[in-house]
Amino acid sequence: MLRDMSANPERFGKIYLPIRAKKGQSGRERFEGIQKSILGSIAKSCVYCESSAPIPADTNIVILNAYSISFMGDVKDTLEQNVVPMLDLLKQCTELVNLSSVLIVSTAYVQPYLPFKLCKGPIPCHAAKDPQATFNAVLDGSITWEQIKADPLNHQHTSVNAYVYSKTLLEHLVLQLYEGLLPLVIFRPSMISVSSDGKVGSMWTPPCATALLAQSKVARVFPGTACADHVYVDKASELLLKSVQLPREQLLQKAQFVLATGNSAVKPQIFENEMRGSEGCCTVFMSKRWFWVIPLLRAVELLMYRLVLGAKMASRIGKVYQNYDHFLTHSFDFEPNLPIDVDEYHKTMSRWLVANPMPVKQSKPKGSIRCGGQYLNLSESSMKWSMILLPVIFSMCCIMLCMDMDTQ
């Protein structure tokens, strides 16, 4: 976004960056680090401001993009840490005399999966009648997470995790409080991937992380019935900056919903196979009729991780499964604003992988194995447990080979 803004200086002459302190660095120190490492020649357009400072009075566009992407957080903590500060900023926006647009980054995944159809508006849920009352009730504990999940007014997808629920509630709340008062854009991106030239990407995004994992040496088991929706990061940025330039009168009349989504064309199984190439892990994708087998295979897999990699790493891998299985099981009816040509996309992602391979940080020490670009020390007890479990894993593989399922 900063690169795109700098390319249009007559429209974006000054960019305020409120940056918080983190890991022993002040906000200003972090800003100076960003100037040197990322911004380069565009740093002149960027102005540092304290994260707790009021929005500068000459601001005419506000983009609210900061939000924790933790899926496993407590719902009250998620609302307090993400939504409460955003509401304070929106209140400040009402005092900005030159304000032309306020864009709030939501997520395409507030929308439930198929057969739920495309919805360019707030998603029906238990907050629809009085969003503010529902928000306050969740904050003060009057409504618990168990009650949210059990409420028949909420689609099962809405309460899949605190992140999706909080974004869903946020949209309702913002519209109740500020539609007609502020020039609002609700921006819904799907899975952000690499740039369309394959030069820019982040290993923290699901598509890039999945591509890197495909080249690791650890086998995995996944559901495989979805068509995933990936979008190029530069195309998403381009659409976002185009959206903040919609006419103020149009936005004041009615909040606009903009979907930064593609054509749900990426098959996880084919994507992993293309990224893996001649090396990497063998990922088993289960068809729907065999989903009941996944917990059993996962139990064996995570036990192996616990014995070989340790409890902490096994727990992390287990949480990844818990976070993303839902999105590898279902497909979504998204608007094809940013369509991806799958064959070209595989080549683009491969170019990024060539420039950002799995890291190998050390030579192989004695008594270790290689896993995902790292060498892992195996204790004698771990080796014994591994030998005990090998026949179990072999038996499970034989069973899987006899099943009617999608396997790569």
For 10-39, the pLDDT digits (tens) are 888 889 999 989 889 999 999 888 777 766
Q: How confident is the model at residue 404 (pLDDT cuts 50, 70, 90)?
A: very low
Pairing of the two strands 101-105 and 61-64: parallel
Interatomic CA distance for residues 298 and 324, integer angstroms = 14
**pLDDT value at 332 more than 60:** yes
Residue 288 has a pLDDT of 61
Going from the C-alpha of 407 to that of each of 58, 74, 149, 222, 223, the distances in angstroms are 57, 36, 33, 10, 11
Q: 195-223 pLDDT, tens per residue? A: 999 999 988 888 888 888 777 766 566 66
Distance CA 262, CA 270 (A): 17
User: Among residues 105, 108, 115, 12, which one has the least CA distance to residue 67?
Assistant: 105
The identity of residue 183, as a single letter, is: P
Q: Is CATH 3.40.50.720 the classification given to domain 2-194+230-260?
A: yes
Mean pLDDT in residue range 169-189: 97
How high is the pLDDT of residue 45? Answer: 82
Q: How confident is the model at residue 375 (pLDDT cuts 50, 70, 90)?
A: very low
Q: Are 260 and 188 in contact (CB under 8 A)?
A: yes
d(CA 205, CA 333): 21
Over the chain, what HEC string results? Answer: CHHHHHCCCCCCCCEEEEECCECCECHHHHHHHHHHHHHHHHHHHEEEEECCCCCCCCCCEEEECCCCCCCCCCHHHHHHHHHHHHHHHHHHHCCCCCCCEEEEECCHHHCCCCCCCCCCCCCCCCCCCCHHHHHHHHHCCCCCHHHHHHCCCCCHHHHCCHHHHHHHHHHHHHHHHHECCECEEEEEECEECCCCCCCCCCCCCHHHHHHHHHCCCCCEEEECCCCECEECHHHHHHHHHHHCCCCHHHHHHCCEEEEECCCCCECHHHHHHHHHCCCCCCEEEECHHHHHHHHHHHHHHHHHHHHHCCHHHHHHHHHHHHHHHHHHHCCCCCCCCCCCCHHHHHHHHHHHHHHCCCCCCCCCCCCEEEECCEEEECCHHHHHHHHHHHHHHHHHHHHHHCCCCCEC
Structure confidence at residue 323 (pLDDT): 76
pLDDT at 6: 78
Q: How confident is the model at residue 181 (pLDDT cuts 50, 70, 90)?
A: very high
**Going by C-beta distance under 8 Å and a sequence separation of 6 or more, which residues neighbour residue 284?**
219, 220, 221, 222, 297, 400, 405, 407, 408
Measured torsion, CA atoms of residues 163, 256, 195, 12, in degrees rounded to the nearest 10: -110
Is the pLDDT at 284 greater than 60? The verdict is: yes
Domain boundaries, given as residue ranges, for the chain = 2-194+230-260, 268-401
Q: What does the pLDDT read at residue 279? A: 63
